[in-house]
Amino acid sequence: MSGDILLVIVVGTALAFDFTNGFHDTANVVATSISTRAIGPKQAVAFASLLNFIGAFISLKVATTIAKGFVDTSAVTTTVVFCGLVGAIAWNVITWYFGLPSSSSHALIGGLVGSVVAASGWSAVNGGGILDNLIVPAIIAPIIAFVAAGGSILLVYRIVGRLRPGPVSRGFRLGELASGGLLALSHGTNDAQKTMGVITLALIANGNISGSSFHVPDWVVVTSATAISLGTFTGGWRIIKTLGTRIISMDPAQGFAAQGAGAAVILAASSVGYPLSTTHVISGGIMGAGAAKRFSAVRWGVAGNIVTAWIMTLPAAALLGGMVYGVTTLFGNGVAGPIVVTIVLLAGLAATFARRLQHAQPAPTTP
Amino acid sequence: MIRAAIDTTALLKMVYSSLLASVVVAVVFSTALLGAIRASDMRRAGRGITATAYAVLAAVGVLIASGVIVYGLVLIARKS
């Protein structure tokens, strides 16, 4: 009975993480379209939310990687999954509060690894899996997006460079609706699956699913898709501003190239099961589109701050996941620890949101 | 040892398919845009046949770009 209560708490926490993931990553999906005035902020967020939901149903390969690729499943208990999730949520909220576009995906994997290490030691961590499925793709994917967006924009300028700028901009704004839609779809495909993987891991740990016959139940797919979609709809204006205008000022052609490259990289990664960070990828695309036009157009200082946040995410979330595991097990191995931690987490979230709302900036509007 | 831990086939597949897809879609869409804008210019200049040729270029470009996107999505959905 206490195992089932704990499972309910874990599923609720995983869906809350999924919500914060959508909330946190809204910027990645819509910032470019908004900053180039291809679409209004409210319409962009609603459009992205819908496509996030649809995207979650496209593939399940990333969910499999999350559930089986990073830690020894026999060392995972529902408490471990819970603590990893809380560590990831805490890191997401901290970076959201300070307006840093870190990676929700790396926060999730970092939190999970930290929690597993605290519970069973380093031997339960699949170092090769982390290197193969997380670190190498995390380094390579933004570089591909950078090169693809940069190469694309150079070719685009060669093709449309001698045309009247007005119709060209209008055309690329239209194109951005498609590339932005694809980016939202790819975000739903890659990111919603991370929550599906974590919930499935908890179901295996609780004995609801056999580890040998791995599959993601339909209700997990539907609830994860709904949570990320609602999170995206709620939005995160603070990070939208950082990504959309502070890295570079873009024209619609650059926005189209950046979004198209980002979507292509995320979809290609999803098809081979890599849990990528959409933040990393779209930032790489934006920088590539900017640097190809004029290297100095990219505000490299801001880009450097973003890279620092990326590098910090995995160890910081792991540390938080490990700390949460330590605190949770102070109350024993039952449900008391997770209940206390959930109450503290909810109180912390309420206080953070209240504080942010006090200093909130109004949502940007298109003229 | 590090090389053994990395699935280079999957990694390379991600690299070439994403590079190819983004560049092809950008080039084809830009060509479609070129066709649409030139078609409009030619129509205004009274050059009907050239305008039609550019309009066909625009339509073919949009069709190819849409086709590449749909094909990619179907491929991903079918493989999972």
| Residues A319-355 pLDDT 10s | 999 999 999 999 887 888 889 998 998 898 888 878 8
Residue pairs spanning A and B at CB distance below 8 A: 130
Q: Which residue has the higher pLDDT, A187 or B60?
A: B60
What crossing angle do the helices spanning A300-328 and A78-97 adopt, rounded to 10°? 150
B6-47 pLDDT tens trace:
788 889 999 999 999 999 999 999 999 999 999 999 999 999
Cα A190 to Cα A192: distance, rounded to the nearest angstrom: 6
A residues 8..27 contacting B (CB < 8 A): none
For residue A256, pLDDT over 70 is answered with yes
Q: How far is B70 from A232, CA to CA, in rounded Å?
A: 24
DSSP string, A106-126: HHHHHHHHHHHHHHH-GGGB-
Closest CA to A105 of A92, A124, A96: A92
With CA atoms as reference, the chain B residue closest to A143 would be B15
Best to test chain B binding among A58, A64, A152, A172 (most B CBs inside 10 Å): A152
Of A64-68, A303-307, A359-363, highest mean pLDDT: A64-68
B26 contacts A255 by C-beta, under 8 angstroms: no
* A61 pLDDT tier (thresholds 50, 70, 90): confident
CA–CA gap between residue A191 and residue A290 (Å, rounded): 26
Q: Is the pLDDT of residue A16 over 80?
A: yes
pLDDT reported for residue A247: 53
Residue A310's DSSP bridge partners are: none
Q: What is the pTM of this model?
A: 0.85
Express as a percent the part of chain A with pLDDT over 90: 34
Contact between A147 and B1 (Cβ < 8 Å): no
Which residues make Cβ contacts (< 8 Å) with residue A167, sequence separation at least 6?
Answer: B33, B36, B37, B40
**Greatest alpha-carbon span in chain A:** 71
Beta bridge partners of A71: A125
- A272/B22 Cβ within 8 A: no
Contact residues on chain B for A163, CB-CB shorter than 8 A: 33-34, 37-38
Confidence of residue B79 (pLDDT cuts 50, 70, 90): low
Residue A35 to residue A57: CA distance in whole angstroms = 29
Closest partner CB to B80 (pick from A60, A167, A168)? A60
B70 shares contact with chain A (CB less than 8 Å): no
Q: What is residue A71's three-state secondary structure? A: strand
* Nearest Cα residue in chain A from B58: A171
Give the pLDDT score at A367: 36
The pLDDT of residue A240: 57
Cβ separation A168–B33 shorter than 8 A: yes
For residue A253, the model assigns a pLDDT of: 93
Beta bridge partners of A125: A71
Whether pLDDT at B49 is above 90: yes
Least Cα separation, residue B78 to chain A (angstroms): 8
Q: Per residue in A90-99, pLDDT tens? A: 988 888 787 7
Q: Per-residue confidence at A316, pLDDT binned at 50, 70, 90?
A: very high
What's the complex ipTM? 0.89
What is the average pLDDT across A44-73?
A: 87
Question: Which segments of B6-47 does DSSP mark as H helices, in order?
Answer: 8-44
**Residues of chain B found within 8 Å of residue A132, distances taken between Cβ atoms:** 5-7
The whole-angstrom separation of Cα A222 and Cα A227 is 9
Residue B36 CA, distance from chain mean position: 16
Position A214 scores a pLDDT of 76
Query: What stretches of A298-367 show up as alpha helix (H) in DSSP?
Result: 300-328, 336-358
Q: Give B57's contacts in chain A (Cβ within 8 Å).
A: none
Look up tokens 């890279």; give the residue: A307
Mutate to test the interface with B, among A168, A272, A280, A293 (most CBs of B within 10 A): A272
For residue range A279-308, list pLDDT tens digits in order: 788 888 988 998 887 776 677 776 677 677
